[in-house]
Structure 1
Amino acid sequence: MTERTGGEAVVAALRALGVTRVFGIVSVHNIPIFDAILRDGTIEPIAVRHEQAAVHAADGYARASGRLGVAIASTGPGTTNAMTGLFEAAAASSPVLLITGQVDTIWYGKGKGFLHEAESQLPMLRTVCRRAESVRRTEAIARTIIEVARDILDGRPQPGAVEIPIDLQYRRGAVVVPPFDRPAPQRPDPEPLERALALLRETRRRVLWAGGGSIDASAPLRQLAERLGAPVFTTVNGRGVISEDHPLAMGPLTAHPAMQAVFEGADLLVAVGTRFQGGATRNWSLPLSMPIVHIDADPSVIGRNYPAAAAVVADARVALEALLERLDAPANDAAFTAAAVAARDAARSQIREDIGPDHAAIMDAIRELLPRDAVIVRDATIPAYLWGNRLLPILEPRTSIYPASAAIGPGLPLAIGAAAAGRRAAVIQGDGGLMLSVGELATLAQYRLPVILCVFNDHGYGVLRSIQARTFEGRTIGVDLATPDFAALARAMGIRGERVGSAVAFRDAFAAAVAEGAPALIEIDADALTPMRSFPQPPRPRG
């Protein structure tokens, strides 16, 4: 037991959790925490320009590293700004801890109108967090932080939050920092595991389906696929669990029409770490009538969208290793697997043809020039929808990040977090989405993080422009935007900035940025590229 200030108690708890970086904005309601971080010297604070970006960056850090991501914000407006980031972390099953302030305990709950007073902050946080707690004594700060962190790391990860009144951050108290042991992965019960093994023995046309919950089970998943000779589909969040240059990797193409025959012909589906969300199943119209072995750490998702013949509640890696230890099933029917691979190749060829030669060449340049272990972040934008999420190869676990909530704008701060985890990163970004987090260019410049931001500029919200025009007889509203010269803006921030109008020029600019290893922005004139078929763009005002 050591006497510490509340701010020092926060730092002691973060050190016990193994935290080495935090993201946030300094405020009068958290400065004792930041001062303690400064004096301690073992945790690097990364000062972002908006609290939403702080949580997105902590999320990107968690997804790229597999470790706890931490954001620090102020009470009231700072925490309301952080809510979208927590919403995204919840959708992505990402372990993100928000530490925020609160007014002094003598004013809390009295509704007197104190500075940044937020009477309902805790219930608000609980709408998007697995667990949110308010500390009432300085002595309880470290224990509360560690308890919440342990909870959100257990099973399927989720975000959490701790609010600490400002007087408790300044106050000194006898603080005990309990030891932290990451929760042990859950082991499967014998009965459902035996049922899964029996189904594997009885079938010859199996398909594997890997979601985001399988991302740390890469080795046993690949071994299971190879022993069975079974094709492996992934969701967008599960990309990288098997390298997409592996002969059995089908990629995130479950919803592609060419794949329906594969699922109709399968006699068993082994699903790992997935909720069977709408995008991957064409809003649950994909016919999955075969028996399903469903493995997930969260029992509430098993059977939620498709019934499970064997419900294996367990950590993905532990469950797959247990299956492999006792697996005595025959190999897949070779003709079935060959047909699945042929369908995959046909789908990839069709997508490549649909996106046209310029976008295909840009995609090829990104994959060829980036290291295998670089993180590829896609914001919600047309190039991401049409090729970034479906065709651009992802080669290693934890190198693919996409907003699970389909929000526009998180791309840059997610990449900042990934780069802060020690990874190089590239972002596929639209101009409309970038404007929601454009201030984080200053963060990128300040910390010289190795992020290459590829901005496809079509002067507005291209997806919505196309949908409106097709739905409302060519009419559009609110989708055409005045956008800055992004390359010049980057240069003004002290970042390499270049504007290109062709795939050849993009390749040269991207190669130079990769070689430099520093932050860079490449603005691509989307109007100068060969149009992609799936999102035809109507004429729009010029000037």
Structure 2
Amino acid sequence: MPSLGTTAEAVVDTLIDHGVDTVFAIPGAQTYELVNALAARQDRIRIIGGRHEQAVAYMAFGYAQATGELGVVSVVPGPGLLNAGAALLTAYGESQPVLCIVGDVAAGARGRGLGHVHEMPDQLATLRTLTKWASNIEHVSEASGVVAEAIARATSGRPRPVAVSIPRDTLAQRGPYRVTGPRPLPTPPVDKERIAAAADILATARNPMIMVGGGAREARAEVAALAEYLQAATVAFRGGRGVVSDDSPLSFTSASGFERWADTDVLIGIGSRLELTWARWPDRAPGLKVVNIDIDPEQAVRLTPDVALVGDAAETTKALAEAVAARRGPAPDRSAEFLAVKEGKAKEIEDLGPTIEFVRAIRAALPEDGFLVEEVSQVGFVSSFGFGVTAPRQFITCGHQSTLGFGFPTALGVQAAHPDRAVVSVSGDGGFMFGVQELATAVQYDLPVVAVVFNNQAYGNVKLDLEGRYGADRAVGVDLHNPDFVALAESFGADAYRIDEGDGLQVAAAKLTRTTAQAVAKRRPAVIEVRCALGAGESPWKYLEPASRKGA
């Protein structure tokens, strides 16, 4: 039997039927009906409000990345949508399933330029530049089907954000509707001929390397089995951290992995854009063979590999491992060799000084199953290779968008998804101020994120770059006048602490470990301000974009 109700009720019932338990939102005039429908179903779905549309969209992004499930955000049209745009773009780049439900002006007013509140000339066209798929909902009878289609698009193939735009009068429209439930998500069949071709290449590989990205997060066991059999150095840059635990001798970061790159004769990409190998690492070995596994047919062939395998990472990697085993025996154990490389790199990166010491201090305080949310900052950059990760989705990243200010609001979404686990965000003073108002959200909704803010009173990375390229007198617009972060945090009702690097690096690092552990244990929102100098220690970019060693 169909239900009788509003378009908004059909939308919410469909979300619930698909297992959605949280909507991050800032209500407004064009979404009142949606809020009303959510409020009527608070026993099955909750709404978490925020103080800025960009922030609530990042919360949905964080929820999605930490769970692998759909994150949902609702905003008003026009300025609300554009405010959320940075987070949608980040979700697109990082391949995260986010559904954005956007209100709109009345159906008959769209495109007429009448000057309605929050009107855009063509909202749907704008949405389509930011998402994998977007559609209007025009009638109550189609609402559930459109939402179900959006969810299927977001979560199938390469996950990415999607959007539905709903006029305010359509949201209020009443009529019969049937809820469209979840549908099976097909995956491409394993291509046995291409598997055989890839296995033939690997049959004679002496120094294979596996590079894992975010697309390998659900293929942990399969990747580990292939890596073990081949004794392949397995490298993760950002999204793939933890697919192979850093406790394994086979797990390499972007910094330590470069030590193996020049000798690599076969590269196996699994759910990765292979950014390190085409954009950051020089010294590609002549004759290198590339096998690339990706669910996205375009991504699989983008870098013209020798063999492209389009398919689910787990299924395809398993099939490849079986085909390799039919052609060769297991490779001799290289644990001692690999551990020596990793230990050498761990010692080398100590030249980073305060940044690596602070990253290690936070790692020492955070429970093994805790989450670290990086940020566009010196400490954030170093965390991509200096922070130990033992499982997928524990290192939360903005990926190649490098979105300044994403960290703290994203961490709130991670915490909403995992209320019983520790979440720490690391930000610079500049990036933290993009979302500082969300301390109110953290306190209001009891989201006990610990925000570590490194205060060097500058957009530090940009300042160093400008000074290095053009001279100190050209580094303008980068120095920051900051508030008292402790007093500011306390004014929101959060706990607050201060650490000063001026007391001595080892003293400050030890205090950061103790303070982070204390804040995590209290299970309250907290800010830890770390006052630090800019430019102490070597630049992380020597490890993120290493120089060629040919002829060295």
Q: Secondary structure at the residue paired with 1:439? A: helix
Task: Give the drift of 1:283.
Answer: 4.2
Select which of 365, 374, 385 maps to 1:369.
Answer: 365
Task: Give the drift of 1:299.
Answer: 1.2
Hey, what's the Cα distance between the residues in 2 that align with 1:230 and 1:31? 55
Select which of 444, 447, 456 maps to 1:449.
Answer: 447
Hey, what's the Cα distance between the residues in 2 that align with 1:325 and 1:20? 39
1:124-523 equivalent positions in 2, closer than 5 A: 124-253=126-255, 256=258, 259=259, 262-277=260-275, 281-283=278-280, 285-287=282-284, 289-305=287-303, 307-326=304-323, 327-328=325-326, 329-332=328-331, 339-351=337-349, 353-356=350-353, 358-385=354-381, 387-404=382-399, 405-422=401-418, 423-475=421-473, 476-501=475-500, 502-523=508-529
Hey, what's the Cα distance between the residues in 2 that align with 1:503 and 1:60? 28
Contact 1:268–1:291 at 8 Å: present in 2 too? yes
1:174-233: CA deviation from partner (whole Å, max 9, x where unpaired): 112112124133332111111122222222321111111111111111111112222111
Hey, what's the Cα distance between the residues in 1 that align with 2:41 and 2:108? 29
Hey, what's the Cα distance between the residues in 2 that align with 1:378 and 1:64? 13
Equivalent AA in structure 2 for residue 402 of structure 1: T
- Which residue does 1:540 correspond to in 2? none
Contact 2:365–2:514 at 8 Å: present in 1 too? no
- Which residue does 1:80 correspond to in 2? 82
Contact 2:358–2:379 at 8 Å: present in 1 too? no
Name the CA shift for 1:26/1:355 in 2 (closer, same or farther; >3 Å).
same
Give the number of aligned pairs.
Answer: 525
Task: Give the drift of 1:369.
Answer: 2.1
Name the CA shift for 1:347/1:101 in 2 (closer, same or farther; >3 Å).
same
Hey, what's the Cα distance between the residues in 1 that align with 2:394 and 2:462? 28
1:75-114 equivalent positions in 2, closer than 5 A: 75-114=77-116
1:75-98: CA deviation from partner (whole Å, max 9, x where unpaired): 111111111111100010011110
Hey, what's the Cα distance between the residues in 2 that align with 1:471 and 1:513? 40
1:42-76: CA deviation from partner (whole Å, max 9, x where unpaired): 11111011111111110100000110000000011
Hey, what's the Cα distance between the residues in 2 that align with 1:530 and 1:430? 13
Hey, what's the Cα distance between the residues in 2 that align with 1:534 and 1:362? 15
Hey, what's the Cα distance between the residues in 1 that align with 2:254 and 2:280? 15
Hey, what's the Cα distance between the residues in 2 that align with 1:163 and 1:447? 27
Contact 1:4–1:174 at 8 Å: present in 2 too? yes
Q: Secondary structure at the residue paired with 1:207? A: strand
Task: Give the drift of 1:459.
Answer: 0.5
Hey, what's the Cα distance between the residues in 2 that align with 1:397 and 1:373? 10
Hey, what's the Cα distance between the residues in 1 that align with 2:471 and 2:488? 36
Task: Give the drift of 1:350.
Answer: 1.1
Contact 2:214–2:240 at 8 Å: present in 1 too? yes
Q: Secondary structure at the residue paired with 1:26? A: coil
Contact 1:418–1:424 at 8 Å: present in 2 too? no
1:478-521: CA deviation from partner (whole Å, max 9, x where unpaired): 11010111111111101101111122322221121021122111
5+ residue gaps, structure 1: 537-543
1:133-184: CA deviation from partner (whole Å, max 9, x where unpaired): 0111121111101101101211111111000011111111111211212413
Deviates more, 1:201-210 or 1:88-97: 201-210
Hey, what's the Cα distance between the residues in 1 that align with 2:255 and 2:155? 30
Q: Secondary structure at the residue paired with 1:113? A: coil
Contact 1:32–1:170 at 8 Å: present in 2 too? yes
Hey, what's the Cα distance between the residues in 1 that align with 2:8 and 2:377? 41
Equivalent AA in structure 2 for residue 524 of structure 1: V
- Which residue does 2:15 correspond to in 1? 14
Q: Secondary structure at the residue paired with 1:202? A: coil
Contact 2:364–2:513 at 8 Å: present in 1 too? no
Contact 2:464–2:535 at 8 Å: present in 1 too? no
Contact 1:68–1:95 at 8 Å: present in 2 too? yes
5+ residue gaps, structure 2: 501-507, 542-552
Contact 1:55–1:82 at 8 Å: present in 2 too? yes
What percentage of aligned pairs have identical amino acids? 33
- Which residue does 1:531 correspond to in 2? 536
Task: Give the drift of 1:266.
Answer: 2.1
- Which residue does 2:504 correspond to in 1? none
Hey, what's the Cα distance between the residues in 2 that align with 1:266 and 1:399? 28
Task: Give the drift of 1:333.
Answer: 5.5
Task: Give the drift of 1:341.
Answer: 4.3
Contact 1:75–1:118 at 8 Å: present in 2 too? yes
Contact 1:204–1:333 at 8 Å: present in 2 too? no
What is the alpha-carbon root mean square deviation over aligned residues?
A: 1.9
Hey, what's the Cα distance between the residues in 2 that align with 1:444 and 1:8? 28
